[in-house]
């Protein structure tokens, strides 16, 4: 479940107030007072929210995180990985707990365990922690965002959006470019099926 943004919550309070207003059978005149009442209620709830939360506290985890140096490893099918640096400018630790992309059926947050020659990647328990006023770097051989079941080849130079979701339900979307990380791995198959002949156009 995603966190309800402040705007939506306001709309909900509008709807609730209008729902309790006298029923309007005809004419526009009845709607006006209901609307004014709702606007007043929204203003009050806004003021209360302003009192209860400190001015320096960000509204959501996503507000304090910026993404940089993001890129994706080119792949024809199956799985691939995304890397990036997440900087947390906030006073409290934040955690990325999920990721999604239109490029694959699903994504996982992975870590790499083991030493030289015997490394294994696996889902990172608890997600990716970004400490307060610090950076978490995803890099080959370490933590990464894993694309699982690619829907189409990730071709070098292409741009793919990725959405990361934080523990508080907020999320950030960023676009990453596909890079040919492993070297020359050209594949002209149109759908990742290596048995398919290339079409001349």
Would you tell me which residues interact with Cu ion (CB under 5 A)? 110, 121, 146
Nearer to Cu ion, 110 or 165 (CB): 110
Is there a contact between 60 and 168 (Cβ–Cβ < 8 Å)? yes
**Dist. CA 60–CA 197, nearest whole Å:** 49
What's the min distance (Å) between Cβ of 120 and Cu ion?
Answer: 9
| Contacts (Cβ under 8 Å, ≥6 apart) of 39 | 14
Nearest to Cu ion of 40, 123 (CB atom): 123
Any bridge partners for residue 179, and if so which?
Answer: 73
Estimate to the nearest angstrom the gap between the alpha carbon of 98 and the chain centroid.
8
- Closest approach, Cβ 182 to Cu ion, in A, equals 15
CB of 146 to Cu ion, least distance (A): 4
The minimum distance between CB 122 and Cu ion, in angstroms, equals 8
123 or 161: CB nearest Cu ion: 123
Q: Rounded distance, CA 52 to CA 44, Å?
A: 13
Residue closest to Cu ion when measured from CB atoms: 110
């Amino acid at each position: 479940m995603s966190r309800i943004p402040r705007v939506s919550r306001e709309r909900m309070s509008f709807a609730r107030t209008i729902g309790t207003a006298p029923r309007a059978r005809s004419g526009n005149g009845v709607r006006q007072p209901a609307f004014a009442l709702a606007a007043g209620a929204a203003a009050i709830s806004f003021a209360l929210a302003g009192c209860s939360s400190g001015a320096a506290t960000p509204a959501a985890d996503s507000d304090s995180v910026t993404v940089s140096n993001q890129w994706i490893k080119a792949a024809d099918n199956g799985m691939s990985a995304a890397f990036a640096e997440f900087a947390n400018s906030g006073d409290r630790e934040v955690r990325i707990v999920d990721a999604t992309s239109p490029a694959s059926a699903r994504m996982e947050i992975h870590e790499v365990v083991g030493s030289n020659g015997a490394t294994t990647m696996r889902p990172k328990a608890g997600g990716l922690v970004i400490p307060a006023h610090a950076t978490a770097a995803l890099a080959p051989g370490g933590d990464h965002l894993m694309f699982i079941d690619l829907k189409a080849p990730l071709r070098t130079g292409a741009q793919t959006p990725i959405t990361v979701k934080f523990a508080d339900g907020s999320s950030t979307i960023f676009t990453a470019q596909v890079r040919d990380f492993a070297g020359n791995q050209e594949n002209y198959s149109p759908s990742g099926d290596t048995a398919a002949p290339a079409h001349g156009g």
